Structure 1
Amino acid sequence: MSQATFLNRQALYLRPDPARVIVRPFKPATEPKDFKPTDKTRANHIVDRVLALDDATVASQLADVLENFQGRHRNLLRSFETRAAEMEEALFDHAPFTKLQSQLVGAYFLNEYSFEASALFNPSIVPHPDQTLAPPGGMRFVLSLRAVGEGHVSSLTFRAGTLSKDGAVSIDPTARLAATAKLPDNFDPQVDGPVEVLFDTQDISERVLFPVTAAQSNGIEDARFVLFEDEGERTYYATYTAYDGRGIRSELIETQDFLSFRMTPLKGSAARNKGMALFPRKIDGRYAMIGRQDNENLYLIYSDDLLTWDGGKPILRPQWPWEFVQIGNCGSPIELDEGWLLFTHGVGPVRRYAIGAALLDKADPSKVIARSREPLVHPDPSQREGYVPNVVYTCGAIRHGSRIILPYAVSDTFSNFATIKIEALLGAMNPVS
């Protein structure tokens, strides 16, 4: 089986970089079995040791920490102070911290985390909110990527780039530093509701949307971003999978500027599975999603309030050998004159993932007009090895003039780009009677 002849791969690869790190809270190991509530914790012991140091030793130890780590993070001393303030609530029976003691204590309760050490994959792409630097006939874009580090914890990271008039893709240089978002005051990770976070970094590639709630604790996975338009208002939404190490659920990101983000759990029977993708506008006055509720088929689902998703109508089932195991969506549908273009993934023998496409009726997306008999993209023999071999996958493409720009991941490890002429793609799809 060959790749689609009209697929133009770009010589551009985004690979994971273990040198990109953030600081995360560190908690000492569990207390011994005979531990009593009145006993000092291991954290108390660490603080007692720091407070026993004389002022000169505290200053020299802090200077040594800064010499080792300050060049790897922005505002590191502020991070130390914030962490120490968090720890004070968990500690007891100690003298007040001086400023230097507070900073050194905070350093003991943080650790570096290489958030993309293992993988940088499953991209989605949307127009950049600021098009002032776009070339004539071109477009600026934002790319979201799933990053995976130690312990298979997934977070969300970003890149900005440019599309030329003829569809050539370029990515802005990646910032050397990275940082997580600021959380609300008195944030409680156990509260199951909307969370708003804010970044203060200038470069979008510095921003890492890391799990913050209990439901997300093991990962924010496979964000499918879309630019949603409604009565002149433009909002970026992304559906993603929240994973706590045992169970999953679908959640929704909302942003206007990629600086502040609101993350909200989705409700309803259709939100208990993964891989939901929002249409870029309402259909007949209602929100619409493509989702997979039964781990096998694709459904069309409607909602009146964006956050509650129940029911649904099956519209696509596995039909060809390369998708016999299951099918799923590969991002939000793209509106064309001919209908809604929906990229899909199929799973075939030896759990090999490939990317295909379907065309849905514009007025009634439950009607399938055409679909690809053969996959558009499948694992190339020279690029099939990786964190999860034999997989190609995307979380969203974008239209640019007469072309589709398709970022996609290879073997759950790195990301690549392809461009597709819309006319050739539609011509290669099989009509559905």
Structure 2
Amino acid sequence: MKPPVKRISVRLNPDVRKVIPRFFNTGDERARALINRIMLLPDKQVSELLLQVLTEFRKRYNNIRVVFEKHFELVKHLLPDKERLTLPNDKKLLIGSYFTMEYSLEHAALFNPSIVEDPDQSGTAAGEKNVIVSFRATGEGHISSLVFKRAKLDKNSNIHFEPSGKYMSQGRITQQKRNNKKAFEELLSHSILPAEIRAGILSQLPDTFSYKEIESILKTALQQVQTGMAKNKIKYEILSMVNTGYEVHFLPESLLSERVIFPVTFTEKNGIEDARFMKFTAEDGSGTYMATYTAYDGSFILPHLIETKDFLHFKMSPLHGKAAINKNLALFPRKINGQYAMISRIDGVNNYIMFSDDLYLWETATLLQQPVYPWEFVQIGNAGSPIETERGWLVITHGVGPMRKYCLGASLFDLNDPSKELGRLKEPLLMPDEDEWHGYVPNVVYSCGTIIHQENLFIPYAVSDYATSFAAVPLNALLDAISNTGSSFLES
């Protein structure tokens, strides 16, 4: 018997007012011409124009002057040395404003949510829980970033969101450890890169180097590669060998809803996609919030991991190994039999399970689930990290059926040996309602993470890759429905 699902009458639509200032890159030739035009303006007109821009945009940003200063620094090399040294501050700021553009983070979509318990539970009454919900925000050019909201689940499993902040911030970016040239040379020797190109790259590298340095070297080193697709593929393969990790730091006084993790590296320049957050508990009992996500460069994808203790400081790391491929990786919230465990979909169709001694290295994968029922014939995948219950690991799945309709399902796996599937719902747990059919990608419900609250499984889910809604299902009823299938699904 299918468990009862209660849809919650809350829907979050994209907010076009959520903007960040980005560098407006016009290319050096156009930039020089633009700067020359600004340089010809008399000082009085410069001050008047700057005041006009500041008056119009200062209410949208905490300190728009800092943004203009930063963007001037990115183009100042185009000025002659003498003029650069004597330039009035107002003219610097005005030049910076011309190389600034607003980017609407959520213009296209706010979707693919995950949810975790907030580390701060202050202000909660009996039966309430503070939570953090993450979202994939998609804007112009279909670039995806990661945004957050704080909310409270009440005793009836309804959700109430805090008001959103108004000053979006990308935080301060810092680089992780530098790469070792000797180790990189060994990795590069196994690539299909022509020897002369490989030698050219290595000759320019210092003994230790950063991601930014290798990316800059590749711009010239790959010029002799004929086609754009081949060049991008080689660049992706090389950059996937190096540490593309970085950290993002936000100010403590910023609201969580004002923090955005926007693509930083080449491997994710077109998107930080589908973060699956959960709280990982180490063997000493300490907890760290982690999320796998898909880094997308416009052509290729690479799995990454986010780690944070407080949602103020985030560490982003690439995942390596033969099995760290494709989308849909979801980490178990603790080690199993002394190893990290992960669910993945390395072939795009089936669910796999992986074990590793190294959180960042995944070499082997074992088939875990194949499509069985018609609503999941196209593919089956996870809809977030497994949830530990007394009766087994609960995994909310997604299945794709006719007309590429995405539905959510549920499976149960053995606690001590999660490679053993104990049961699976025969029918979808949640499928698109009529008012959920339409969006950026029609006929889709999808989730990146759920949570247990008040004996219910609370499910945030995407509505046709456009908006986000919510549902709840009694946990025991769900587990009973899965358990009652037993192993019969294997015989279907």
- On whether the aligned pair clears a TM of 0.5, the verdict is yes
Asked if 2 retains the 8 angstrom alpha-carbon contact of 1:43 and 1:91, the reply is no
Give the secondary structure class of the aligned counterpart of 2:84. coil
Residue 153 (structure 1) aligned to one of 124, 138, 143: 143
Give the aligned length: 421
1:53 matches 2:41? yes
Deviations 1:68-89 (A, max 9, x none): 2111122111111111122224
TM-aligned CA distance change 1:4 to 1:169, over 3 Å: farther
User: Which residue in 2 is equivalent to 1:135?
Assistant: 125
Residue 118 (structure 1) aligned to one of 91, 108, 119: 108
Give the secondary structure class of the aligned counterpart of 1:270. coil
Write the mapping of 1:2-401 to structure 2, written as runs, cut at 5 A. Answer: 6-29=4-27, 41-89=29-77, 91-93=79-81, 94-96=83-85, 97-184=87-174, 188=212, 190=215, 192-200=243-251, 202-230=254-282, 231-401=284-454
Tell me the distance in 1 between the aligned counterparts of 2:275 and 2:78: 35
Asked if 1 retains the 8 angstrom alpha-carbon contact of 2:459 and 2:472, the reply is yes
Give the secondary structure class of the aligned counterpart of 1:180. coil
Give the secondary structure class of the aligned counterpart of 2:75. helix
TM-aligned CA distance change 1:315 to 1:187, over 3 Å: closer
1:427 matches 2:415? no
User: Which residue in 2 is equivalent to 1:35?
Assistant: none
Letter of the aligned partner of 2:339 in structure 1? Answer: R
Tell me the distance in 2 between the aligned counterparts of 1:87 and 1:192: 28
Give the secondary structure class of the aligned counterpart of 1:271. coil
1:46 Cα deviation (Å)?
1.8
Structure 2 spans left out of the alignment, 5+ residues: 176-209, 216-241
TM-aligned CA distance change 1:262 to 1:95, over 3 Å: same
Deviations 1:290-326 (A, max 9, x none): 0001111101101111000111111110000000000
Deviations 1:213-249 (A, max 9, x none): 1111000000000100111211011100000001001
1:90 Cα deviation (Å)?
5.3
Tell me the distance in 1 between the aligned counterparts of 2:337 and 2:174: 37
Deviations 1:123-157 (A, max 9, x none): 00001111112222321110000011111110110
* TM-score (normalizing by structure 2): 0.83
Asked if 2 retains the 8 angstrom alpha-carbon contact of 1:4 and 1:377, the reply is no
Asked if 1 retains the 8 angstrom alpha-carbon contact of 2:3 and 2:478, the reply is no
Tell me the distance in 1 between the aligned counterparts of 2:149 and 2:360: 27
Higher helix share: 2
Tell me the distance in 1 between the aligned counterparts of 2:78 and 2:354: 46
Which deviates further from its counterpart, 175-184 or 17-26? Answer: 175-184
Tell me the distance in 1 between the aligned counterparts of 2:2 and 2:72: 56
1:192 Cα deviation (Å)?
4.2
1:44 Cα deviation (Å)?
1.9
TM-aligned CA distance change 1:4 to 1:387, over 3 Å: farther
1:49 Cα deviation (Å)?
2.2
* TM-score (normalizing by structure 1): 0.94
RMSD of aligned residue pairs (Cα, Å): 1.7
Asked if 2 retains the 8 angstrom alpha-carbon contact of 1:126 and 1:142, the reply is yes
